[in-house]
Amino acid sequence: MPILLAMSGGIDSTAAALLLQEQGYNLIGCTFRTRYTSEDSLRSAQDLAQSLGIAHHIIDLDEDFERDIVGYFRSEYMAGRTPNPCVVCNRCIKFGRLLDEAHRLGCERIATGHYARIVSNERGLFLARAKDVHKDQTYFLWQLTEEQLRQVIFPLGDLTKQEVRDYLAAKGYTELAHKSESQDICFIKDDYRTFLNLPMQPGNYINQSGQVVGQHTGYTNYTIGQRKGLGIALGKPAFVTAIDAVHNEVRVGDYEDLLRNEVQLNHCLFRGDVSRPVMAQIRYRSNPTAATLSTFDFGLSTFDFFLSPTGGAGGGLKVSFSSPVWAVTPGQSVVLYQDDLLVGGGIIES
């Protein structure tokens, strides 16, 4: 049976296609189109598929993407949180809809150019960090289920980015091998504030004592930990420490005011041993911090799996850090690792 490969026409999906074909897989290519997809990337994917002699499908997901990803992005900022659209997109679009398309086309599994590995042990299949720790993308994949992992291949997980570039150059894709890549959110071409274009009213900056110390341009223009662009002079560096969407207030304080010893998560997925320490990563570019876990609102047995769609009554995880972490941001993901395996994660509630 064939494998359905997600193809963007870029460095990683091109290398994935070549590697898989070398390994004897029968491939079908698939590219999702939204209003943010460039015609150049579509042509690149089509040209690659033609050169490899494989079928290629373009699937229009504009309506789904606007509803599930862009709609989520807007609503989170409106609620005073900082969203992580790549996590949601991987669950709903890149793997959810890709698997749907694979089943429709009679494909056995799907493949992508993500830098991640899948390993098996006595407790099942788990994501594991990629060989290239600087490109590891497991942080964005924590919401994938074990059932989805059974149907996925990550051909780049055991390669570094430089090895991928060298491989492409050796295959004759010299220009592509040296191409630079954007690290930004795919649908944000400039500043997220410009993209949102929300009708915001000015509001008050509040210090840690609750005093008004200035006026801001609208709470959606700020995120936790922000220092630049505040437009206030307090005689010392000021950082955004909290956002109150209901009252249109932005709280500011010192660097030390952003240090936290614990955080509560909702929308949790967890498949590890809750009694064991974890390495907790609070944002993609942060270093993991040793932590311990506890549950709130209901008990959780060792090796249990749970999904709490709302936190609160459904339960969640409290993460207690061994040393303080800086700028914990509601709406972002905390991803949990044990022995380099991704064992769970959740969305920062408070």
Among residues 328, 283, 308, 350, the alpha carbon closest in space to that of 87 is found at: 283
Among residues 56, 164, 152, the alpha carbon closest in space to that of 111 is found at: 152
3 state SS for 195-222 = HHCCCCCCEEEECCCCCEEEEECCHHHC
What contacts 182, CB < 8 A, 6 or more positions away? none
> Of how many residues is the chain composed?
350
What contacts 285, CB < 8 A, 6 or more positions away? none
Q: Is 233 exposed, middle or buried (0-12, 13-18, 19+ CB in 10 A)?
A: exposed
Is residue 111 within 8 A of residue 156, CB to CB? The reply is no
Catalytic positions, please? 89, 186
β-bridge mates for residue 6, sequence order: 30
> d(Cα 253, Cα 234) in Å, to the nearest integer?
10
- Which H/E stretch holds residue 72? helix 71-78
Instruction: Report CA Rg, the chain.
Output: 22
Reduced to 3 states (helix: H, G, I; strand: E, B; else coil), residue 68 is: helix
β-bridge mates for residue 215, sequence order: 204
Give the torsion through C-alpha atoms of 271, 277, 278, 280, to 10 deg.
130
Long-range contacts of 189-192 (CB under 8 A, 24+ apart): 192/77
